[in-house]
Amino acid sequence: MPSLPLRRMVLTAAAGAVLLSSAWIGPSRAAEDAVVIPAPTADLPAADGTQTAVLAGGCFWGVQGVYQHTKGVLNAVSGYAGGAKETANYSASGTGATGHAESVQVTYDPKVISYGKLLQIYFSVVHDPTQLNRQGPDSGTQYRSTIFVQNDAQKKIAEAYIAQLNTAKTFKKPIATTVESGKPFFVGEEYHQDYLTLHPNQPYIVYNDAPKIEALKKIFADNYRDKPVLVRDAKATN
């Protein structure tokens, strides 16, 4: 695997140090705690065929991992959205100056899981939606909380759900998540795909991302699948 930028390596080392120092006081916890939230009052209807959702909420390793363990998801691919094709890569986006956010394109069966349910999982266990440009140890616009809507129907549902949660004061602070339209998704590097599954013992994954999978299993038991759907498996069947 190509070496990661120095900053991610430092964060991984720091996470490892935290795990070692906390070994005697109990299990590690995620950088963002999961929150039990109400389902959206408005949702898209079930339809034939497949649909896609593009979501950004911090490092794409954890976002991808959560949706790979979600029933009804057919594929979840890490990549970039928000900027130009020429800068849709890890090195350039890592500067925070490209407009890109680390994102995950979720292909799903709307007869098994709805767009609204994907958003409920997104706001509940994927990340802390009250932080705009920071998640856990990662900061910068490339880690922003953004829903890249694919059409007007998704935009309506996403904005309505944010308003619903804010009105109910579900979180201690207002939701900072932005909704962006007309921003294409670009597939990320191969070494970023299936990262959580392929590197389960990496300290960064153990500390920041693995707890999200456990939260998904606990809070959304009916939507959880133990065996993840992987990008490499999707490629093998195409």
Residue 237's pLDDT band, with cuts at 50, 70 and 90, is low
Higher-scoring residue by pLDDT: 219, 235: 219
String of b and e for 31-52 (b: at least 16 CB within 10 Å)?
A: bbebbebeebeebbeeeeeebb
Condensed to tens digits (0 to 9), the pLDDT of residues 91-103 reads 999 999 999 999 9
Residue 24, pLDDT above cutoff 50: no
- Whether the CB-CB separation of 76 and 69 falls below 8 Å is answered with no
Helix axes 210-219, 60-68, angle to 10 degrees: 30
Q: What is the mean pLDDT of the chain?
A: 89
Please report, for the chain, the start and end positions of each structural domain, with discontinuous segments joined by +: 6-237
What's the token pair of residue 123?
Answer: 């706001």
SS (H, E, C) 79-90: EEECCCHHHCCH
pLDDT, position 16: 44
pLDDT single digits (tens) 92-138: 999 999 999 999 999 999 999 999 999 999 999 999 999 999 999 99
Task: Give the residue-averaged pLDDT of 70-75.
Answer: 98
Residue 22's pLDDT band (cuts 50, 70, 90): very low
| Per-residue pLDDT at 232 | 87
pLDDT in tens, 207-219: 999 999 999 999 9
pLDDT tops 80 at residue 27: no
Query: What pLDDT shows up at residue 112?
Result: 98
The C-alpha atoms of residue 125 and residue 142 are separated, in whole angstroms, by 19
Catalytic residue check, 5: no
Between the CA of residue 36 and those of 73, 103, 165, 200, 219, what are the distances in Å? 21, 23, 11, 25, 7
Which fold does the domain 6-237 belong to in CATH?
Peptide Methionine Sulfoxide Reductase; Chain A (3.30.1060)
pTM of the entire structure?
Answer: 0.89
Instruction: Return the ∠ at Cα 197 (arms to 193 and 200), rounded to 5°.
Output: 125
Q: Looking at residue 33, what is its pLDDT?
A: 82
Catalytic residue among 31, 34, 54, 59: 59
